[in-house]
Amino acid sequence: MHTVLTRGNATVAYTLSVLACLTFCCFVSTVFLDYRVASNINTGKVLVKNVPDYGASREKHDLGYITFDLETNLTSLFNWNVKQLFIFLTAEYKTEDNVLNQVVLWDKIIRRGSNAVLDFKNLNTKYYFWDDGNGLKNNPNVTLYLSWNIIPNAGLLPTVKSFSSHTFKFPSEYASALI
Amino acid sequence: MLNLNIQTHMDFVGQHKAEMYSRFIITLFGVVGLIWGAITQQFSQTVYTLGAGFILASLLTIPPWPMYRRNPLNWQKPKPEPSSGGSNGDENKQKKKK
């Protein structure tokens, strides 16, 4: 502490230590919060096609085509340790080959301060609903889940599943590939 | 050439004071900022408040203000010149080192 430089060094170092401590307090204040809320998902059009999957094996695979409604209010999730939410819709189902298939169909980023009350009607999926075989046709039990990643200022990056889900079945006939 | 004789040191009591003040100011602003950030639910407010504390502490405790220089050390008076025999002995030692 005997020169200007050592005093400056001590002040900067102590400020950074305090900043780390405050950030940790912010993390502790939010780490035990329950980030689950309810949502309302519904399907509109549900079709299944059998088309060649050029992205993979070129064999004919099942391609689902659905539209969906989504209604939820995520405003309560935001606090001082949430910068943005990454919300995504997944379809989970069981086939003969795999006990659990998970396909991400749609996602969206909600920044802090922007509108977090979602009410979408007849949305198309953002990503292809490919099965890795022929497991979609006549599948009686496909479930849509809404989940979100919480991007914090400091701390964990939790993935939270919404309370609600929606289960639907695919038709037993392939739709014409032109639709 | 201009010869500015600026004293930049603090005495020992002053150094202790400066350190205590800067610790106190930064901690106080940090705690207040944490509370304010929790109330407004904006962590950026906490960081800005801490930044204000840093600037205030820097201005108050980094420059050697007169308040940190009120307890100068009482140095002993310089001794009179040593005898010629002693100075010869010192010169011999320095020659041996070289």
* Burial of A32 per CB tally in 10 Å (0-12, 13-18, 19+): exposed
Q: Give the whole-number percent of chain A exceeding pLDDT 90.
A: 80
Torsion angle in degrees (nearest 10) through CA of B52, B57, B62, B68:
150
The pLDDT value given to residue B95: 46
- Beta-carbon separation of A4 and B26 below 8 A: no
Q: Which residues contact A125 (CB under 8 A, 6 or more apart)?
A: A65, A66, A67, A68, A89, A105, A106
Q: Mind telling me how many Å the CA of B83 is from chain A's nearest CA?
A: 36
For residue A42, the number of C-alpha atoms closer than 13 Å in the C-beta half-sphere is 9
Is pLDDT above 70 for A178? no
- Rounded Cα gap, residues A48 and B28, in angstroms: 64
Give the confidence band of A159 by pLDDT, cuts at 50, 70, 90.
Answer: very high
- Beta-carbon separation of B62 and A19 below 8 A: no
Q: Mind telling me how many Å the CA of B26 is from chain A's nearest CA?
A: 6
Is pLDDT above 50 for B98? no
Give the confidence band of B2 by pLDDT, cuts at 50, 70, 90.
Answer: low
Both tokens of residue B19?
Answer: 């350190």
Q: ipTM of the predicted structure?
A: 0.79
- Beta-carbon separation of A80 and B43 below 8 A: yes
Mean pLDDT of the region A167-173: 92
Q: What is the mean pLDDT of chain A?
A: 92
Task: Supply φ then ψ for residue A30, to 5 degrees.
Answer: -120, -5
Is pLDDT above 80 for A177? no
Residues A154 and A23: beta-carbon distance below 8 Å: yes
Strand pairing of A117-124 and A60-73?
A: antiparallel
The pLDDT value given to residue B1: 57
Q: Give the whole-number percent of chain B exceeding pLDDT 90.
A: 51
Both tokens of residue B90?
Answer: 């010192």
Residues of B in contact with A22 (CB under 8 A): 30, 33-34, 46-47, 50
Residues A22 and B50: beta-carbon distance below 8 Å: yes
- Beta-carbon separation of B18 and A153 below 8 A: no
Candidates A28, A80, A81, A112: best to mutate against B (most CBs of B within 10 A) is A80
The pLDDT value given to residue B3: 67
Both tokens of residue A120?
Answer: 């979408």
The pLDDT value given to residue B84: 60
Q: Mind telling me how many Å the CA of B77 is from chain A's nearest CA?
A: 24
Q: Give the whole-number percent of chain B exceeding pLDDT 70.
A: 79
Mean pLDDT of the region A160-173: 91
What's the CATH fold of domain A33-168? Immunoglobulin-like (2.60.40)
- Beta-carbon separation of A1 and B19 below 8 A: yes
Give the confidence band of B48 by pLDDT, cuts at 50, 70, 90.
Answer: very high
Mean pLDDT of the region B65-86: 82
Mean pLDDT of the region A65-70: 94
The pLDDT value given to residue B92: 47
The pLDDT value given to residue B73: 85
Task: Supply φ then ψ for residue A57, to 5 degrees.
Answer: -100, -5
Mean pLDDT of the region A35-45: 92
* Burial of A178 per CB tally in 10 Å (0-12, 13-18, 19+): exposed
Among B76, B77, B67, B78, residue whose Cα is nearest residue B11: B67
